[in-house]
Structure 1
C-alpha cells in the first residue's frame, strides 16, 4: 500500500493589520488580539484545521514568532517554525514552507488573521481542494459573495476554472461582478502539492525560487538569514504564480469568511456575536468605561492605553492613512 501524502497546514502570520490601529500594533498584530470570544484569530485558525491536517507549519517573522509560540504551547500542538528575518511577501513565505516539505506533501495555506464560521462547508471545501491538489492542481478558495464588497479581490471563474484574478474593485465594478454571478471573493487560501508549487514558481519567477532556496538551505532551526533574505524579490504568490500558472483550479464555497481587514468588518462580526451597540449603532471596543455618544451614528470608539481612535464606521478604510502618517513620524505608537 502506498503512503498517503501528509497534509500540512501552513499558517502565514506576517501581516501587521495597519487598518486596525491602534488595536493592532507591531508588537501585537491583529491575529494575536484576544478580541474574539476570548481567543485570537491565530488560535482559531490553528483549531479550525487541527482535524484536517497531519502537521502544522507557522511562517512568521522575527518580531511576532514569540506570540505564535505562546499560542502553540498553550494548546501543546507540535509544529515547525519558519522564522523570517524580514518580511518578503507571500511568494517567499510559501516557497519556504514548500522547501520544508516532502515533494508529495499537500499544503493548505491560510492567513492567520481571517474569521471563518460554518465549519461543515469549510471542511467540504478543504476536502475538495485536497482531492484536486493531489491530481497536480494548485487550488485557490473562492467565497460566494454576499454583497458587492470593495475591500476584497475577486476571482472570475467558469466552473472550477479560473478565468482571471481581479484587484479590489470600486463600488460600480463590484456591483457589476455580483450581477454577472460568476465572480467569487478571493480568500487568499491555497492548497497544492509542495513540488507542484515549486515547479510553477521556478517556471514563472525563477529569481524568487532560487533566492528563497538559497535562504532556506542555510536556515538554522527554521531561522532565516537576513542578508540572504534581503536578496529575495518581495512579491505576492498571486502575482508570482496564481495569475500565470495554467494549473489553477478554484473551489467555491459558502462558509462565512471575512479578512477582518477594517473596523467595519470587525464591527459587523462583533455585532453578530452580541457585542453591545447603542440605539444609534455606536460601538465601544477596548474598554468597559461608561462611554456616551451624543449626536453620533455608527461611530466606533477604540480605546487602548496609549492611543484612542474615533471613526465613522463607513470610513474605516481611511485608518491606514493615520498609520502611514505615524510611520512617517517614526512614532512609538505603532509598536
Structure 2
C-alpha cells in the first residue's frame, strides 16, 4: 500500500508582502529558525512512515528554487517528483494531476496525503498519529480531511461540522458571532486543507462530481512532457491544454458534494501562517511585548513586530505596529489590520509595479541577480552564477551590456568569439549580439553588469539555447 505525500506549493501570499511576492511566494519565507515553510513541509512529510516519494505540484517558474530548497535539507535522499504548472488553476487541478501521476506510477490503491507548502505544524507526533488514522479511513474508500479542534473563534478559516469521524457539512468562513457559536458547540472543526485518499477513490469521485475538471486535466496530463531519472520524475503540464482546466478549489468541486467523506479531529499545533501577526507570534517577545528580527532599536514602544533585512530600524513612542523592511519596500501596519496588506498588493499589481512580483534579488536556475540601482537609460546589477552553471544563449534588441568580473572566472560567448574573463577584467556585449555567460570554475562567479539602452525590462530577451528548457 504505497504512500505518497503531495505538497501543493504556490499562491501569492499577498498578506505577507513585502517578503512574499509572486515569484517568491509564501512557502519560501524563512522563519526565525532559518528554515522556510516549504522546507518544513518537506521534512514533515519525509518523517512519516512508509513514504515512497514526495510529490510536489508547483509553478514551472518556481521549480529550480524549490529544488534548491529541498537540496539544503534532503539529507536522506528521499525520492522526489514534480508536477509543474504553467500557471495556477487552484487545488482541484493540482490534486487531479497528482492523483493521475500516482495512479500511473503506483496504481489506484496508492494513498495520497495532500499537504499545503505554507502551513505550520508544531506537534509532529500528533500529526503522524492523525495521518495514520486518516490512512486507515482512506483504505476503506473515504475522502479524509484533518479537522483542527478550534481554540478561538477564528473568522479566517472554513469550518467542518462533524459527528466523530462523520462529516455533516462544510461551513464557509463565519462572522465573529457565528465563530463564537461554533466554538461553544464543540462539534465544529477548522478545515485544515490536509486531505488523504486513495488515487482511485479521488479520481472516481471527480469523475462523478466534477468530470469536466478530471477530463480537462487528463487530456493535458496525457500530452505533457515527462522526464524521469533515478529517484526523480518531472512532468511539465502542457500549457495550451492546461489553460482550459476550470479553476476551482477541491473543497467546492468535490469535498462539499461527495458522500464518501470522513474527518479526523486532531490537535497538531496547526497554523496557516496567514498574516504578519502569525509570523510575529513565532518569534520570542521581550518584556515590552516587542518581537524583533534583524537589527532594530525601540524606545518607549510596545507590542510591535519588526523584521528588518539590510539596515537598522528605529522606532520611538509607538505601539501595536508591524514593520517589515526589505531592500526595496517597507510595510508599516497596525497589528489589528494585517489582513488588509493584500490591498496594497492589489494596488501595486494594478499599477504594474515590480515590487508585487519580484525582489531586488531574483533567483534563477543558474544563480541570482540583484538590482543595485539605475536611471532612465541604465541599470546596474550584481550577478552571481553557480559553479558549472550557464545562462542561456541569448540576445537583447534594445540594450548593450558591460560585464566586470569581481570574483571567479567567466567563459563568455560574444557573437562569434569565445573568451575567458578573469577577476578584475571586463567585456562588452553590443545590442543584437548573441551571447552566453558560463561559470567554468568551482567557485561562484560574481559580476557587475551595467546595462545601457532605450528599454531595460527583463522581457527584452530572445533565447536560442537553454540548459533549463526556457527557450
Corresponding residue number in structure 2 for 1:40:
36
The yes-or-no answer on 1:233 pairing with 2:255 is: no
Secondary structure of the 1:49 match is helix
Determine which structure has the larger helix proportion and give its number: 1
Q: 2:282 aligns with which of 247, 269, 275?
A: 269
The CA deviation string for residues 103-161 of structure 1, in whole angstroms up to 9 with x for no partner, is 11100000000111011111110000011001110100111111111111111111111
TM normalised by structure 1 equals 0.95
Alignment correspondent of 1:61: 59
Alignment partners' CA distance in 2, 1:236 and 1:310: 32
Structure 1 CA distance, aligned partners of 2:186 and 2:221? 42
1:18 to 1, 9, 14: 14
Q: Deviations over 1:90-112 (max 9, x none)?
A: 00100000000121110000000
Larger relative CO (CA 8 A, sep 6+): 1 or 2?
A: 1
Aligned equivalents of 2:344, 2:161: Cα separation in 1: 33
* Alignment partner, residue 94 of structure 1: 95
Q: Which runs of 5+ in 1 are unaligned?
A: none
Partner Cα separation in structure 1 for residue 332 and residue 285 of structure 2: 21
CA distance 1:173–1:256, change in 2 (3 Å): same
Name the CA distance, whole Å, in 2 between partners of 1:206 and 1:256: 36
The answer as to whether partners of 1:72 and 1:78 remain within 8 angstroms in 2 is no
**Cα distance in 1 for residues equivalent to 2:303 and 2:84:** 42
Whichever structure has more strand as a proportion of its residues is 2
**Aligned match of 2:315 in 271, 284, 293?**
293
Contact 2:160 2:169 in 1 (8 A): yes
Alpha-carbon shift at residue 226 of structure 1 (Å): 0.9
- Find 2:130's aligned residue among 120, 125, 141: 125
TM-score (normalised: structure 2): 0.68
Q: Distance in 2 between matches of 1:264 and 1:173?
A: 23
Structure 2 partner of 1:103 = 108
Bigger Rg, structure 1 or 2: 2
Cα separation, 2, equivalents of 1:83 and 1:161: 34
Residues 1:186 and 2:186 are matched in the alignment: no
Post-superposition CA distance 1:6-43 (Å, at most 9, x none):
10010000212011010101121111122241100100
What residue number does 1:83 align with? 84
Contact 1:20-1:262 at 8 Å conserved across structures = yes
Q: State how far apart, in whole Å, the 2-side matches of 1:272 and 1:204 are.
A: 49
Count of residue pairs the alignment pairs up = 331
Q: Structure 1: how far apart are the matches of 2:285 and 2:168?
A: 34
Cα distance in 2 for partners of 1:55, 1:36 equals: 28
Q: Residue 212 of structure 1 aligns with which residue?
A: 217
CA-based RMSD: 1.7
Q: 1:292 to 1:272 in 2, by over 3 A?
A: closer
Distance 1:122 1:185 in 2: 15
Matches within 5 A, 1:119-198: 119-198=124-203
Q: How many Å apart are 1:289 and its aligned residue?
A: 4.2
Q: Which moved more, 1:26-35 or 1:233-242?
A: 26-35
SS at match of 1:70: helix
SS of the equivalent of 1:201 reads: helix
**Partner residue in 1 for 2:442:** none
**Unpaired stretches in structure 2, ≥5 consecutive residues:** 227-234, 293-297, 358-471
- State the Cα distance separating 1:176 from its structure 2 match: 1.1
